[in-house]
Structure 1
Amino acid sequence: MKLSAPVYHLKRKAKLLSRQENVRLHEALDRIAAKEGFGSWSLLAAKLSATVTVSELFARLGPGDLVLVGARPGQGKTLMSLALAVEAMKSGGRSVFFTLEYTEKDVLDRFRSIGAELAHFGGLFEFDNSDAISADYIVEALDSAPRGTLVVIDYLQLLDQKRENPELMAQVSKLKSFARDRGLILIFISQIDRSYDPSTKPCPDIDDVRLPNPLDLSLFNKTCFLNNGEIRLQAAS
């Protein structure tokens, strides 16, 4: 979330406004919030509390989680997913990156762009860009993965691109059961529909996920959306 000034500066402005115009502080806070594009100070505060760092996000993940990470192109969803993989390795866990998009060199370059060198992690990271990637392939590849392994799947909408693969709903359901049974953390990178308009909604949400094929998004117990430097995590209700 980008504000015109740090929150403590905005609060100071509200106190000054309250004294100068002889209005109650909550009214002054609401006026300041309105200038920042919010209907009230409480809405501004709620949005601020919803923003998390990558390390805070990783701390909220646990074995069995199925996480959807969504953003429009260029907003950092792949980099953030790789940053989560780094957090997992820092804690001594393993990370696996399945992709139908990138080469190994692409991924290594992206690790370097976030200040991470895989050589420092002693083989805790595994890269797989097989053309055969699907739920069945992933389950087989992770047959011996230890509990707590963080798995990134890049990306959700490509899993059933091949006609011979099961429908997307069946694949995600299978992976959800597998993650729960084996205690893995599965992160699905997801596209956001082109109809998403950041001028009307600062950050995309579950309603903006691009779904060319049917999928019950309640299969994901956590969602994370990015836009303009903001990271928003929401657990399923």
Structure 2
Amino acid sequence: MSAIAVVSSSVGAPPQDLDAEQSVLGSILLQPASLLEVVDFLRPEDFYRENHGQIYRAAIALQEAGEPIDNVTLGSELDKRALLERIGGRAQLALLQEQVPTAANIERYARIVKEHAQRRRLVSAGQHIIGLGQDVALSAEEAIDQAGASVFAVGSDRAERSAPISDLLVDAMDRLDSRQESGRGLSGISSGLYDLDALTGGWQGGDLVIVAGRPGMGKTTAVLDFAAQACTAGVPVAIFSLEMSRGELIDRLLCGKARVSSHRYQSGGLNDDELDRIARAAGELGNLRMFIDDRPGLDELALAAEARRLKLREGIGVVVVDYVQLIHGRRRGQDPDRIQEVSGVTRTLRQLARELDVPVLAVSQLSRAPEQRTDKRPMLSDLRETGELEQAADLVVFVYRPEYYKPDDNPGIAEMIVAKHRNGPTGTAEVRFRKELMLFENLARREA
């Protein structure tokens, strides 16, 4: 087999590298776990040869079903799809495996395949843009807008996977400089809130935990506090943030850790003492093993693949998702029923919790139903676009702050309502909410 490299295609031929495609497939057959290294960015449609894409798609199907991948199982899967003979039979699968001496370079091979796929899409986009330029029914501005969208779509899946918090803190401190110039015997992982832990026993491996509430209640703040607490206890955490950027999350972490007003931090009005506290907080946070992925438009397959990769490489013990309704289902565009799409995402998250044996803390929106009631406290029936959310969750925790509706009703007090607990009691834990710090903390213990 010839050496694999990204080379210019001959004139008139679409960009392609069949050797690289074969090497990706051979690597998967040689070492099935290597599929996790590429599945989040390499799609079946990225393969130039359709047969190669079909083989790759079948391998993904086996991986998602938790089945082993080898010549026998892959051949059987292709046979079920009436594709085995079309791709050349089991002999072709054996040949693919024999052509690759090691699976160590699969990511390099996959990047080459992806590179050529993007070039083919760029050629297609160029042809589309020519058509836009010749379409007299469109204004020049409309044509330019559609042309830009076409080019953007070509590279929209090239975003980074995740970044360690130590790297992100450097950017956070730079942003701050610019503004200034202008535990307790639990069976699971502690939330950091002892009354909540008393109800839940801590976050348990394999559990899907839904953290829900109406807008403004502090759902993101809560799961970020839970994540920081886990990391402080030595548990690596993966955060998939589809609503807030990495920078916004880091800013919140810094303010909470340093106990500095988020408003003063954002406005650049910190005094010397506060700046010192921020610097110390950055030093402490930089030692945490927290990984943040803020790719917009993340789909369930890419999320699961990245979580598996981080489990394999970093040993993550908690997965945080903010929030469920922003994750694209794998059948997006094929099924007009949004509830069914969210149900599919929910099943993926629950399966991921079981597979990785980690708690998955997933934020969810609520419907407007509480606004219509005298008692605004959420109920399980309020879960928005639930589908299987309520059924699939092992634990449902509602975040509720009475003062949001009545400023004089228990100001500074929030309720963590455990509305569903598959393996324990339900109930309500009262905690303190420091709005200026965007932080939940324990109330002082009462003497018995």
Provide TM-score, normalisation by structure 1: 0.69
1:153 is aligned to 2:321: yes
In structure 1, which of residues 200, 224, 228 is the aligned counterpart of residue 374 of structure 2? 200
* Deviation sequence 1:118-176 (CA, Å, 0-9, x none): 64242411111112422211111022416662111111111237835882222221221
Structure 2 distance, partners of 1:91, 1:149, is: 11
Q: Which segment drifts farther, 222-231 or 170-179? A: 170-179
Note if contact 1:79-1:114 (Cα within 8 Å) is conserved in structure 2: no
- In terms of Rg, which structure is larger? 2
1:94 is aligned to 2:236: yes
1:181 is aligned to 2:349: no
Structure 1 distance, partners of 2:238, 2:372, is: 32
How many residues align? The count is 185
1:131 is aligned to 2:305: no
Q: How does 1:39-50 map to 2 (within 5 A)?
A: none
Q: Give the AA of the match of 2:256.
A: I
Note if contact 2:308-2:356 (Cα within 8 Å) is conserved in structure 1: no
Residue 224 of structure 2 is matched in structure 1 by 82
* Structure 1, unpaired ranges of 5+: 1-52
Note if contact 1:147-1:183 (Cα within 8 Å) is conserved in structure 2: no
Structure 2 distance, partners of 1:128, 1:82, is: 14
Structure 2 distance, partners of 1:149, 1:128, is: 16
Query: Compared with structure 1, are the counterparts of its residues 110 and 169 closer, same or farther at alpha carbon in structure 2 (3 Å cutoff)?
Result: same
Query: Compared with structure 1, are the counterparts of its residues 136 and 92 closer, same or farther at alpha carbon in structure 2 (3 Å cutoff)?
Result: same
Q: Give the AA of the match of 1:149.
A: G
Identity of aligned residues (%): 23
Structure 2 distance, partners of 1:140, 1:90, is: 25
What CA RMSD, in Å, does the superposition of the two structures yield over aligned residues?
Answer: 2.7
More relative contact order in 1 or in 2 (CA 8 Å, sep 6+)?
Answer: 1
Note if contact 1:71-1:192 (Cα within 8 Å) is conserved in structure 2: yes
Deviation at 1:222, TM superposition (A): 0.1
Query: Compared with structure 1, are the counterparts of its residues 217 and 160 closer, same or farther at alpha carbon in structure 2 (3 Å cutoff)?
Result: farther
Deviation at 1:115, TM superposition (A): 2.2
Deviation at 1:106, TM superposition (A): 0.7
Q: Give the AA of the match of 1:230.
A: E
In structure 2, which of residues 388, 412, 416 is the aligned counterpart of residue 231 of structure 1? 416
Query: Compared with structure 1, are the counterparts of its residues 173 and 90 closer, same or farther at alpha carbon in structure 2 (3 Å cutoff)?
Result: same
Note if contact 2:400-2:416 (Cα within 8 Å) is conserved in structure 1: yes
Note if contact 1:148-1:185 (Cα within 8 Å) is conserved in structure 2: no
Query: Compared with structure 1, are the counterparts of its residues 62 and 203 closer, same or farther at alpha carbon in structure 2 (3 Å cutoff)?
Result: same
Structure 2 distance, partners of 1:113, 1:209, is: 30
Structure 2 distance, partners of 1:118, 1:86, is: 13
Provide TM-score, normalisation by structure 2: 0.38
In structure 2, which of residues 328, 337, 343 is the aligned counterpart of residue 169 of structure 1? 343
Structure 2 distance, partners of 1:161, 1:174, is: 9
Could you say which structure has the higher helix fraction? 2
